[in-house]
Amino acid sequence: MVSDMTQSHPPRITKAVIPAAGLGTRFLPATKATPKEMLPVVDKPAIQYVVEEAVSAGLHDVLMITGRNKRPLEDHFDRNYELEEALSKKGDSARLAKVQESSDLATMHYVRQGDPRGLGHAILCSAPHVGREPFAVLLGDDLIDPRDPLLARMVEVQEQQGGSVIALMEVDPEQIHLYGCAAVEDTSEGDVVRITGLVEKPEPADAPSNFAVIGRYVLDPHIFEILRKTEPGRGGEIQLTDAIQQLAVDEKIGGPVHGVVFQGRRYDTGDRSDYLRAIVRLACEREDLGPDFRTWLKGYVTEEM
Ligand code: G1P
């Protein structure tokens, strides 16, 4: 059956899903009582960059998949009247604007995952909210520099081609075991490939390419039907990659799967070293902090290391 979702004018994408139910064990003890998504990258919680990215791609309806101990996420995107009043009394309008920025960003929704059964299962929890429209998924460990808009390009490709669109990045073949990996064919557009297969975290010898899946997806809603039937895969978890592989091999279900090859700046905040690198790189580039911080960093590297 060819789906009505594969018609040439798919519905406009308005919804973003952000899985945020992980335990953050790599950052213990910082994450014992604080969600890892709330760890600051310079002076903003990591999760705020991700919500801002969704909004700048035109997606104003954001659903977060959360779990226990994630209440601070809801508070961060809500009003804080006490703090707002204290700052307005002091006439501190700059800080007041910072406080209000996160609550004015998007229409936020939350659903709890309950059992931590993997990324595929987390996405399945969004099915009642998403309904029958294509939607975006943004993983919080990947930060995409706002100057290199990736998601907006993916939405554009999805609107032209239908089906699903996955963000890819070429990585050192030795690193491919850390990612989902795509088998691809060229298309007439330089930054777009056709995805013919996907495998989650292959050994370098088994990898079909060095095209890594980075954490941005625009998915056809047929993914939900597939996820309901997807058996646990790598690590005993229901893998989103395995479900997208089903879409890729049978385009009668949910249309084709394309990849947008990203060549911009991506910061990984998934483990401690990458997180520190992300902070240093972003701090260096900040107009307010960058000049002083770069001078200090140069001195530190040349004189103290
Ligand atoms: C997840 C996905 C993987 C993808 C990666 C991108 O893995 O399962 O396919 O390449 O995100 O960051 P995780 O890093 O959560 O283990």
Complete DSSP assignment for 3-30: -GGGSSSPPPP-EEEEE-----GGGTTT
| 255 and 284 assigned to the same domain | no
The answer to whether residues 53 and 153 touch, using CB atoms and an 8 Å cutoff, is no
Residue nearest to ligand 1 atom 7, measured at CA: 179
At 65-105, the pLDDT tens digits run 999 889 999 999 999 999 999 999 999 999 999 999 999 99
Q: Is residue 276 part of a domain?
A: yes
Dist. CA 250–CA 247, nearest whole Å: 5
219 is written with which tokens?
Answer: 């998915």
pLDDT mean across residues, the chain: 93
213 within ligand 1 shell (Cβ under 6 A) = yes
Beta-carbon count within 10 A of 109 CB: 14
Q: Is residue 1 part of a domain?
A: no
Q: Is the dihedral of CA 211, 215, 217, 222 positive or negative?
A: positive
| 163 and 179 assigned to the same domain | yes
* Amino acid 1: pLDDT: 43
| 260 and 281 assigned to the same domain | no
* Amino acid 8: pLDDT: 52
67 within ligand 1 shell (Cβ under 6 A) = no
Ligand 1 midpoint to CA 42 (Å): 24
Q: For residue 270, what pLDDT band results from cuts at 50, 70 and 90?
A: confident
Q: Which domain holds residue 290?
A: 271-305
* Amino acid 23: pLDDT: 87
Ligand 1 midpoint to CA 215 (Å): 6
| 47 and 23 assigned to the same domain | yes
The stretches of the chain forming alpha helices (DSSP H) are 46-56, 71-76, 81-90, 93-103, 119-124, 127-130, 151-161, 223-229, 240-249, 272-285, 290-304
Q: How many domains does the chain have?
A: 2
Q: Amino acid letter at 223? A: I
Testing ligand 1's pocket by substitution, the residue of 65, 121, 169, 179 carrying the most ligand atoms inside 8 A of its CB is: 179
- In the three-class reduction of DSSP (H, G, I as helix; E, B as strand; rest coil), residue 45 is classed as strand
214 within ligand 1 shell (Cβ under 6 A) = yes
* Amino acid 68: pLDDT: 85
217 within ligand 1 shell (Cβ under 6 A) = no
DSSP state, residue 264:
S
* Amino acid 106: pLDDT: 96
282 within ligand 1 shell (Cβ under 6 A) = no
Percent of the chain past pLDDT 90, that is, above it, reads 89
The answer to whether residues 237 and 122 touch, using CB atoms and an 8 Å cutoff, is no
* Amino acid 3: pLDDT: 47
The answer to whether residues 62 and 164 touch, using CB atoms and an 8 Å cutoff, is no
27 is written with which tokens?
Answer: 């950052």
Q: Is residue 3 part of a domain?
A: no
| 293 and 168 assigned to the same domain | no
pTM greater than 0.85 (yes/no): yes
Q: For residue 115, what pLDDT band results from cuts at 50, 70 and 90?
A: confident
The CATH code of the domain that includes 109 is: 3.90.550.10
| 82 and 94 assigned to the same domain | yes
Q: Which atom of ligand 1 is nearest to the CA of 180?
A: 9
The answer to whether residues 267 and 143 touch, using CB atoms and an 8 Å cutoff, is yes
242 within ligand 1 shell (Cβ under 6 A) = no
